[in-house]
Structures are given as structure tokens and as C-alpha cells.
Copies of this chain bind each other. A is one copy, B any other.
Amino acid sequence: MRIGFVGLGAMGVPMAVNLVNAGHDVTAYDLRSAATGPVIDAGGHAATSIAEAAQEAELFWLMVVSGEQAQAVLFDAGAVDELPKGAIVIAGCTQAPAMAADTARRLKERGLKMLDAPVSGGTAGARAAALTIMCSGDAAAQAKAQPAFEAVGKRIFDVGPDAGMGSTAKMINQLLCGVHIAAAAEAMHVAERAGVSLQTMHEIISVSAGNSWMWGDRGPRMMQDEPPVTSAVDIFVKDLGIVLDQGKAMRQGLPLSAAAMQMFLAASGLGHGAADDSQVIRAYRALNGAKKP
């Protein structure tokens, strides 16, 4: 298939490369034109403008940072004027469900279909073509996009016909991720303040009912002073922000998400917004007194 691909960040580059490797005709665009290098090396094409990436695209895949950026690409930079009739827009970014629904509505006015298809699995999953894709939208459009999804993902879920459902599923995953990271930090902080060995504690929980994916992944980095950044504190300020904005729009109290958000906000306010999100534990140390082991 001819695929226009916009947004060549840490996720977008390996995804575009995997699409090329699966035999698709990929024309990629990024504001930083150097970012297209790996796609060209794999055998794909670089566009010099968004409009050029959109021309003759059967799928137009957006891996930009936000729903706002997706709308800018589509409506301000003129992609919608270039996309051929029947083209399917794939919104792969993490965004508020209401924003995804709004974009789908505006595209529909132009006769274009959208799949609300955020992904999970991080850069490792993107490189391994092992992403989880949570897709909502028209069934025929989902069927058409399926071979492209399979080129980048291992688990592809149909979350329903309505734009916003895919983003809701992703948002719910982020809700759990954010709460579990903060809960891990709360638990680690109780342990360090009580003088329990964090190594032993990590081992115990890893084989107990209190275990979580985040405990396994972030726990070891909570024991480090300056861990490598795999995902920043401010990413969860953004993602839990989406959860709570959506909760506000739906008039829905979400006590745990709200409490977790305060800890990420505090960590960011303490100057650790760009630090690894495991460092939300610093907000606990600030709150209750630092007794580091």
C-alpha cells in the first residue's frame, strides 16, 4: 500500500521502517528532515512537505506528539486537500478521546475516514514490530489497514466503531500505568523510611500479589539516584492530565488518578520533570522527609 507517514520520533522511525520492510510504499515526513534518513535507507521515500506525503496515500499515518499536532498536520498544513478520495487517516498519537472524536468528525466532513489507533509497547516494541494497537473506527477501514498494523504490531485490538474508543483504551492503560508507578514509589518510600532493604522488598513483591508490570520495570530504577530516562515524569503529567481532563468532561471523580497526578506534578515542580518517571519517588521524599537507604 502507499502510505504517507508523518512524525519520525522514537516511535515513528522504527514503525515507518517496519512498514517499508513489510513491502509497503512509504513516503515519510518530519519537521526535522534528517529524521527521514533511516526510512530512506530501508528503501522508503522522504517528502519535503506534509502535502507531498499526503499525495496518493491510501493510508496517512500520524505518529505526532499530540492530537493538536495531528489537527495541525491535517487541517493547517493542508494534508486534507491532498489526500485522495478513500484515503484512511490513522491517528496513532496518544490524545484525549474527545480530541480524536473531533478530528474524525472534521475528516468526515471532507469525506475522509479516520482510525483512532494509539499504540503501546514503547520504542522496544516499535523496533521489534511488537506494538499493541488499540483501534476504533469503521470496520471496512480497519480491515484495509490490518496488513499495515500487522507490519508494526503483534496484538491488534478492535475497540469498536467510534473514534475516541481507541484513545479511551489507551487512556485507561495510561491511568493504570501512572497510578502503578506512583503506587510503587509510595511502597518503596514506606520501605526505605522503615529501613527495609529495597532489594529484598523488590524481590518479595515480584513474587507476590502486589506485583505489577510497572513494579518490575520501574522498581529497579527507583533504587538508583540518576537512572537512565526511559520515559519522563512530564509524560505522566501529560497522560494523567488527559485522564483527568476526560474525567472532568464526563463529570467523573477519579480519586486514585487524581492522587497520582499530584505526585507527578510535585516531582515536576521539584525540578525533576525531565527525569525518569521512576523519580516520582523524590516527591515522596520531599513530602515525608528523605531517609534514603
Contact = CB atoms under 8 A, between A and B. Distances in A.
Interface string A250-272: 11111111111011000000000
Contacts of A215: 176
Interface stretch (A28-36, A144-152, A153-161): A153-161
Nearest to A217: B209
Nearest to A120: B208
A196 B254 contact: no
Contacts of A197: 159-160
A278 interface: no
A200 interface: yes
Interface in A149-204: 155, 157-160, 164-165, 168-169, 171-177, 179-180, 182-184, 186-187, 189-191, 193-197, 200-201, 203-204
A198 B165 CA distance: 12
The count of identical subunits is 2
A210 B172 contact: yes
The secondary structure that dominates the A interface is: helix
B187 A175 contact: yes
Given A256-B260, A262-B255, A173 B217 contact: no
A194 B165 contact: yes
Contacts of A290: none
Contact of A203 (B157, B200, B257): B157
A281 interface: no
A140 interface: no
Contacts of A259: 255-256, 258-259
A170 to B, nearest CB: 9
14 contacts: A132-B204, A132-B207, A132-B208, A158-B200, A165-B194, A168-B194, A173-B204, A176-B212, A177-B209, A177-B210, A186-B256, A190-B246, A251-B288, A256-B260
